Amino acid sequence: QMQLQQSGPGLLKPSQTLLLTCAISGDSVSTDSATWNWIRQSPSRGLEWLGRTYLKSTWSYDYATSVKSRMTIHPDTSKNQFSLQLKSVTPEDTAVYFCSRAGRNAPHGLDVWGQGTTVTVSS
């Protein structure tokens, strides 16, 4: 059964860098049949898609305009995981962050989700 397991800190101070990891079991980050996504959810912004990575000959990356200048996704084939790095966080980045898979069994449907990580940015 395919699973995504998230890890990472839940409390940061403004200007720090958020690093979250999503470990994949039951699939491969290197598959050409899926994309690997990060989504966040907050009361003020609702569900917000943040970015994705996928392998199509070479690694590709897409980022939401709202975070593009601060966000990087790193696929790690040796550990079969992918991570989110978000620099210079502010209180507006306070949210529950989810990793998710799209595409293998449901075209453009996010069919497997991590358990979520509550991230709070506060001084």
Residues 20 and 69: their CA atoms lie apart, in Å, by 17
Binding piece for other proteins, criterion CB under 8 A, among 9-17, 24-32, 45-53, 75-83: 45-53
DSSP SS3 for 116: coil
* Residue 59 binding other proteins, by CB under 8 A: no
What lies within 8 Å, CB to CB, of 66 at 6+ separation is: 48
Residue 5 or residue 15: which is nearer to other proteins going by CB? 5
Q: Is 2 in the site for other proteins (CB under 8 A)?
A: no
Vertex 19, ends 98 and 1: CA angle to 5°?
A: 40
The CB-of-48 to other proteins minimum distance in angstroms stands at: 7
Which residues contact other proteins by CB under 8 A? 37, 46-49, 52, 62-65, 98, 102, 105-111, 113-116
